[in-house]
Amino acid sequence: MPENFIFRPIQQADNAQVAHIIRTVMTEYGAVGEGFSIMDPEVDHMYEAYQIPRAGMYVIEKAGRVLGCGGFGPLIGAETHICELKKMYFLPELRGLGFGKKVVMQSFEEARKAGYTHCYLETLLYMEPANTLYRKLGFQVLDGPMGATGHGSCDAWYLIQL
């Protein structure tokens, strides 16, 4: 991990910074409006949303500033052995430093401990670096969505066996 960065579980005090990251990155990619995760009620309360069994949310911090987030939780509307990789967003200065892989691998480790056997994710095809990472890590492309995430505007779906 690059120097001066801290990788840790989300804290309640991170809520405002994490909401800002999600809204900034989603807007950067034009992913605004119904069907996108920017509209999820949990965006302003990410700490609280991930204080449930079988879930985890992580942040990357530098000099007291949160620069990225990501985690996992149950895939709503799916079998209980399938989790979802959720809310993976990084500000530009954090991209390309290996933190995406770090978040995914930490999520996989904790998801296995929580009893999950598979991990699903959905994203947008034009978020090319994210799609490249997911394929490199072994995610398999799906023909359509799983579960009931409410993110009907996503156009790329993946699944991996943990």
The separation between CA 133 and the C-alpha centre of its own chain, rounded to angstroms, equals 13
Number of domains the chain is built from: 1
| Domain extent at residue 148 | 5-161
Cβ 81 vs Cβ 149: under 8 Å: no
CATH code for the domain of 17: 3.40.630.30
pLDDT tens-digit series, residues 150-162? 888 899 999 999 9
pLDDT tens-digit series, residues 73-128? 999 999 999 999 999 999 999 999 999 999 999 999 999 999 999 999 999 999 99
